[in-house]
A and B are shown apart, each in its own frame.
Chain A
Amino acid sequence: MNLEFSDQQLQLKNEARRFLEDKCPPQAVRAILDGAAPFDRALWKALGEMGFLGVAIPEAYGGMGAGYLELCVVAEEMGRALAPVPFSSSVFLASEFLMLAGSESQKQTYLPRLASGETIGTFAFVEGQGQVTPQSVRTRATGDRLTGSKLPVPDGDIADFAIVAARTGAGADEQSISLFLVDLNADGITRTPVNTVDPTRSHARIEFASAAAQPLGPSGEGWSIITRILDRAAVLTAFEQVGGADRALEMGRDYALERMAFGRPIGSFQAIKHMLADMYVQATLARSNAYYGAWALSTGAAELPEAAATARVSATQAFLHCAKNNIQVHGGMGFTWAFDCHLYYRRANLLAVNLGGLSQWERLLISRLRRRNAA
């Protein structure tokens, strides 16, 4: 029995933490929050140089050739630092789509550039309010041309290419959906930045007007590929969320130790102690579920669908809970722009919906547990 990371993996985690403490302190996150730049280019470049963008990409394609467990520990640190870069879009989504469904030539072309950070990729999926279903995908493919509109696309304003879900059939069924790789700098594409609850992560609307597209994976298999990629991303994002939840808990704990009221540190009041204890409980349960997800992801276990949904539900709940109560512990100061509490609150709420909302994953988890029990 060993549900812990190895010493080498923990060493990589430490390296990532030290690197991010140096290159991504809170001021760097605030520079993106308050400034005009959509993301931290210097940090992105440095992450590429350090190899952090290609952790799970094989060496043959320019990556570090480590594995998912290594990527999980890096993801946790990125979440802890609120890194204002397109890590999730480029690493959890675009790179994973290419590795799972890309042709040899697509892999050769894109993966080395994704690993170095020279190219940014993203996933253009959502087209409007509510849960994405095969029916809600209206962007359509005609031959090698796409027409339609995607909103919101994470990092849609800064990405060089997108994996796009588009309709190749008329029906409401999953087989009507296929995937395409689209160069976002080509003709027929209009990109408009949009504001979200978390300004430290940029988003855009992308309009495709007969834009050139190359198929990614077999036609009609888009939905099943997407489902598998979202499971992988759910585990990796859970680590980001666990990292954020832990940091929010620490901030609350540290403030409770230092802030005095009624002649004593507020951390000596049970109302505050118990709130922080409950944050710890949620963060611990989420971490354990994320580790289970990491095991399933790294071993390709048959349990991945339910492990991923469990990790997703647990980590979403934990980060929301910790970010929300971190503000509460801080009192009025927690509601100022100047304190960092709202940055975690914003990120927690963005990550809670970025792969589909909590209730959606809750239903998914239960349907997957039913399937397992029936099997």
Chain B
Amino acid sequence: MNFDDTPEEAAFRAEVRAWIDANAPKHLDAALSEAGFGISPTGFDFRTEARAWQKKKFDAGWACMQWPREYGGQALPPIHQVIWQQEEGIYSSLSRLFGIAHGIVGPTIIRHGSDEQKAAHLPRMANGEESWCQLFSEPAAGSDLAGLRTRAQQEGSDWVINGQKIWTSYAQYSDWGMLITRTDPTVAKHRGLTMFLLDMRSPGVEVRPIKQANGQSGFNEVFFNDVRIPDSRRIGGVNDGWNVAMTMLMNERLVIGLGMPTGFEDIFDLCSNLQTADGPAIDDPTIASKLATWAARSSGLKYTVFRSLSALSRGETPGPENSIGKLVAGSTQQEIAMFALDLQAQSGALVDPAMAAASARFQAMLMRSPGTRIEGGTDEIQRNIIAERVLGLPADIRVDKDLPFNQIPTSARR
């Protein structure tokens, strides 16, 4: 056991660090450090700066390093990408614009795409010319993704799309979207789906930001009104879209983050500095007890990620056990935020960063964390994944599994 890089990894890390130090967009440092807990960086054009940073990385050979060389990569083991992310620090929030392209869509095109599709998109994803979103969730199809209703109907060599997606991250900045549609409503729901590569500038595509419960707008609704997609931009077979979607969801799980923050460091600082009638809050044994539980959870997540990285470093593929990261971090953030407000008493209600403790970061965390527990698979879906794929328990009974899609009940009333 050790926390050390292999000599090769250490040399790579040193090289990356030096390059970032010499090339990072340091004029954005102040703006990037202030973002977090659902607050987007402000004061600059996100898309322009994100693309410029990606281009610079690409030109220096740091982009999509695990991809094959012919598609703009370096054919390096995935641990290199992780080391890069560790060193990237605050600039990683710029790279997030390409997270879906590099981590999810790219690998899916490599697996299911035609040669033309690979040549058309992969190098442009790598150099930052194309950012991508995933057009998956719909108003009536969230956890039950296969219940989606956006229709694609064939007309000559085109497909005509009508319907609506929701909760699409980065749609407002994306050039392209991976779009899953229903092409046959007369067969069981998983069997009538087809996946397309959609140019987000096509006529009939409308992106509308969603005003979220926390007042921010990170997600979007996307509407399709007679949008035409040539058949050459279909990926995978007609009615084989679920298979392509599974590849995407699998890759999504393999994107190992550096661990989502739980808010522990923040609450620890608050309790260390907050004076009560009996001295610093942290001296109160009941407060210490809560803090210790969060400390242990936070540390447990950190070292669980380290164990996944160990597997990656040895060339192994991490499994669905990574589901625990968001599951634990999301609810811990919410618990910590609520407790921080409690400690601040009446002032806990204040949300103005100039007035509230810790620049109102707990208030921001309070309002963002309910979303964290839902996005990218709800807490309940994560528990199902752990129960079914890790522990081997039976899948849920699905009463609509073998019904033709157009006969599945849509209202609870009879």
Contact = CB atoms under 8 A, between A and B. Distances in A.
B393 A273 contact: yes
Contacts of A257: 392-394
A74 B365 CA distance: 42
A344 interface: no
A362 B292 contact: yes
Interface residues on A, range: 35 or more
Interface string B297-313: 10111111011011101
A369 B295 contact: yes
A2 interface: yes
A124 B304 CA distance: 36
A223 interface: no
Contacts of A265: 394
Contact of B393 (A1, A253, A289, A367): A253
B44 interface: no
Nearest to B383: A277
A362 B289 contact: yes
Given A3-B303, A3-B310, A317 B5 contact: no
A276 B307 contact: no
A365 to B, nearest CB: 5
B309 A1 contact: yes
A1 B328 contact: no
A289 B299 CA distance: 7
Contact of B310 (A4, A281, A365): A4
A3 B272 contact: no
Interface in B364-411: 380, 382-384, 386-388, 390-397
A361 B296 CA distance: 11
A303 B390 CA distance: 32
Interface string B316-350: 00000100100110000000000000000000000
A298 B314 CA distance: 22
Interface in A158-190: none
B1 A310 contact: no
A93 B386 CA distance: 37
B394 A285 contact: no
A366 B295 contact: yes
B307 A288 contact: yes
B268 interface: yes
B148 interface: no
Nearest to B321: A284
Given A2-B313, A359-B289, A291 B380 contact: no
A33 to B, nearest CB: 28
B390 A285 contact: no
B1 A280 contact: no
A268 B328 contact: no
B4 interface: yes
Contacts of A367: 288
A313 B292 contact: yes
B293 interface: yes
B4 A1 contact: yes
Given A273-B388, A295-B3, A314 B383 contact: no
A373 interface: yes
A277 B331 CA distance: 15
Q: Taking each of B1, B295, B393, which has the highest tally of chain A beta carbons within 10 Å of its own beta carbon?
A: B1
Q: Which 3 A-B pairs have the closest CB atoms?
A: A285-B300, A362-B292, A273-B387
29 contacts: A1-B2, A1-B4, A3-B1, A4-B1, A4-B314, A5-B1, A267-B387, A268-B395, A270-B383, A273-B387, A274-B380, A276-B393, A277-B384, A277-B387, A278-B383, A280-B386, A280-B390, A281-B324, A284-B321, A285-B296, A285-B324, A288-B302, A288-B303, A289-B303, A291-B303, A309-B292, A362-B292, A363-B292, A366-B291
Interface of B: 1-5, 9, 79, 268, 272, 282, 285, 288-289, 291-293, 295-297, 299-304, 306-307, 309-311, 313-314, 321, 324, 327-328, 380, 382-384, 386-388, 390-397
Interface of A: 1-5, 69, 249, 253, 256-257, 264-265, 267-268, 270, 272-274, 276-278, 280-281, 284-286, 288-289, 291-292, 294-295, 298-299, 309-310, 313-314, 317, 359, 361-363, 365-367, 369-370, 373
